[in-house]
Structure 1
Amino acid sequence: MKRAAKVLTGFAALTLALTACGTGGSAAPTQATTDGELQTVNVGAVPVVDVAALYIGENEGYFEEEGIALNIEFGQGSAAMIPALLNGQYDIQYGGSVNLLQAVGSGLPLVATAVGGRTTGVVGEDHGGVVVPADSDIQSAKDLEGKTVAVNALKGLHEVFLWSAITKDGGDPSKVNFVELALPDMGAALESGQIDAASTAEPFLGVLLGGGMRLAVSTYAEADPDLVTALYFTTAEKASTDRDLIERFNRALEKSFAYADENPDAVRAELSNFTQIDPALIDTMILTNFTWGLSEADLQLIADLAADAGTLEDPDDAAEKAGAFVAAG
């Protein structure tokens, strides 16, 4: 698989980059073939557990049934890959739900097309959480006050959802010192005392817990038990001019989600194909909730949490624009 080469930090930088290069290079609408040849659909993604659903759909023939051949390209982060989506390198992108709402709030013409993953809603048994050393005095979200907590991106998904979890636990998230650290580097930082806690997700969550760290907060589930953690999205132009493609992709993806939900072992079997996970950890890893469906209310919740954390100015406007495809049915 090819990897996205361009990395940008922050949506202000994204907007500037897109202004400079323009969006006129978008690929022409993908047309259904009439001779039985499959259409190639380019999907940008990050290599996390949720993406196993795409591989399951390929294996089960769901995308082929819809006339689609997937080309999945991995990048270093959903925010950094958005310029490639806007410039036509990708037809559809998988990424963090907060990233999308923030991008739309900054003026980028994107719309959500399908759910990418959900919290399990079960505290203590979710695929995202805050881990601490076993002897730490941090027992709950409120205890993070005055502590240094690592997140993989400042003002990103983990910080936004932790802001909510801390508030619900009676704490003041403004008293937390959030620092940015790559997910693979969090374990060493915890062991050395550089940070007090790390907000992470599978497969890194399982790795840290398997290495003796302790779960202190179930970030997603404590923020909201119905939280959508990831989304599939595309450009507003693509959703309008090539709606048939998106609908066919979604039909295949819905079948993939249903199969993944009923066959967790099939999900685990796909992980070694696109992630570097110790096989010994795969069997105990907590998988995403593959419940299908995306509503305007789901997007509004994400936008409201981002606004509460001070990372989105107009949550109603962002939710409405991001939900245009969903609202259109």
Structure 2
Amino acid sequence: MVELVKNNSGKEIEAFLDYGKALVDSALSSLFLEPWAGRFGRLSESMRYSLLAGGKRIRPILSMAALSSVGHDPEPYIPLLLPLELIHTYSLIHDDLPAMDNDDLRRGKPTNHVVFGDATAILAGDALLTYAFTILSDPRYDELSSEKVRLAVVRELSHGSGLAGMVGGQMLDMESEGRRISLEDLEFLHRHKTGALILSSVRIGALLGEAGASEFNSLDQYGESVGVAFQIADDLLDVEGDAATLGKAAQKDNNHLKNTYPALLGIDGAKKMAKEKLEAALDAVSGLGEKADHLRGIARYIIERRN
């Protein structure tokens, strides 16, 4: 385990992000060493293609940081954080399909359906989603985390990724295309589409770390603010970034006539709101001391990132 950062310098948070990503990437690769993986040929290949295509692994790393903030070494918990990345990856595969966003590029590579076809891409997403809960219910983790705690994690993850979270938010996003909505409605949409799984990531770290009521409340408020900040940053990147840096098409939101924070507030207004959400996130964990430095660094990274 790397030492907790003593301040918020960019280099130190980058070290933690690199450390977390390396652990998560290694654990994700090991999933496909299971004997069953080779029995399903093209489907396993499709799952592996998207799951191991790269990505920042922000969601499991947020869980790691939350675990650190309540005094736990996050490394032993990595297997129980992989479901966050499985579900995030499944959502990207399905988002890219012709029936949804119809994207040809993801993380600098052809999207799953372009390589494997629509039907295999749909099944790969389905398999990643359900495999997430296979992991969380695996009795091999009984000594690491009690069944009661893991059941709470299952509930949190299913809530954050389902009807009342990511999936419901995606539907709202599609229904709002081509028509102007209010800022209040946009926030509601993105608190579900993007923010819900970000919030769940933080809350899952708190659950696994058996945080006290006050700690949990602080982390909950942090997750709410960071989830919105993440989406604002994404919207700004779509306007200001380029495909080579982003690893996906730029100006996509405008082309799809989507409602975004820059479209409603202007670029300067969106940046101001992102800063406000950052300050709210930092304030939420102000009482957790140095143990929350990773959370503070990640919040800053989220609004300063370039891809």
Global fold match (TM > 0.5): no
More helix per residue: 1 or 2? 2
Q: Which has the higher contact order (CA 8 A, sep 6+)?
A: 1
Q: TM-score range by the shorter chain?
A: under 0.3
More strand per residue: 1 or 2? 1
